[in-house]
């Protein structure tokens, strides 16, 4: 009986791990959008978040967040407000 209980508990856990990759991206987009909104920027619907490897450094991640109404370049340092720059259309790449 103990083996069955262990398998019954392990199966949902394994399924959750397999599905977590898709949810991670949604969570990241949502988290960045929430942070922007808290700092007074408009992000109606977060569509895509891409890490900018050229601008990212240890303890300073840089992201490009595309929302339905605007695109932002976001730099995040732990325990500080994000540095946010609105990207004009057609100028996503520096």
> What's this model's pTM, rounded to 2 decimal places?
0.67
Q: What pLDDT score was predicted for residue 3?
A: 55
Q: What pLDDT score was predicted for residue 27?
A: 76
pLDDT band per the 50, 70, 90 thresholds, residue 7:
very low
Q: Listing from the earlier edge strand, what are the strands of the sheet with 61-67?
A: 46-51, 61-67, 71-76, 83-87
How much is the average pLDDT of 32-58? 95
**Closest listed residue to residue 92, CA positions, set 66, 53, 67:** 66
């Amino acid at each position: 009986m103990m083996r069955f209980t262990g398998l019954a508990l392990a199966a949902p856990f394994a399924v959750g791990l397999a599905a977590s990759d898709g949810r991670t991206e949604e969570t990241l987009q949502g988290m960045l959008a929430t942070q922007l909104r808290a700092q007074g920027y408009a992000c109606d619907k977060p569509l895509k978040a891409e890490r900018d490897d050229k601008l990212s450094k240890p303890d300073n991640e840089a992201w490009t967040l595309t929302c339905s109404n605007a695109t932002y370049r976001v730099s995040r340092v732990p325990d500080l407000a994000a540095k946010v720059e609105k990207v004009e259309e057609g100028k996503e790449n520096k």
